[in-house]
């Protein structure tokens, strides 16, 4: 298991499962499973899209669709990791 950034801004315990965090985006509100506090994802987390967007543009240079999708998948994994590791929840 990767070391994640899942701490609740209210109770400092794990607010939700890592896979659930991946389904969240800026503007969404979730509830901490420990204290019931409301939390969200900061708009500033959009920076995790930058490496993915760069990789996606790079992938479009490849005419071969397998290579293109492999690179895109790699880019997605990088984005998911950055989001998981470096984006912290904010109280709502
Ligand atoms: Zn909490």
Q: Identify residues whose C-beta is under 5 A from ligand 1, the ion.
A: 8, 10-11, 32, 34-35, 37
pLDDT band at 3 (very low <50, low <70, confident <90, very high): low
pLDDT in tens, 7-64: 999 999 999 999 999 999 988 999 999 999 999 999 999 999 999 999 999 999 999 9
Q: 14: CA distance to ligand 1 center in Å?
A: 7
Q: 20: CA distance to ligand 1 center in Å?
A: 15
Listed in sequence order, the residues at least 6 apart from 38 whose beta carbon sits closer than 8 Å to its beta carbon are 29, 30, 31, 32, 91, 92
Render 63-75 in DSSP notation, one character per residue.
-SHHHHHHHHHHH
Q: 67: CA distance to ligand 1 center in Å?
A: 42
Asked if 34 contacts 10 with a C-beta cutoff of 8 angstroms, the reply is no
């Amino acid at each position: 298991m990767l070391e994640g950034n899942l701490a609740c801004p209210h109770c400092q315990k794990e607010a939700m499962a890592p896979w659930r965090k991946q389904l969240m985006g800026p503007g969404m509100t979730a509830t901490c499973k420990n204290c019931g506090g409301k939390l969200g994802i900061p708009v500033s987390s959009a920076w995790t899209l930058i490496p993915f967007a760069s990789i996606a543009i790079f992938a479009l240079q490849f005419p071969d669709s397998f290579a293109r999708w492999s690179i895109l998948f790699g880019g997605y994994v990088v984005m998911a990791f950055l989001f998981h590791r470096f984006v912290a929840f904010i109280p709502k």
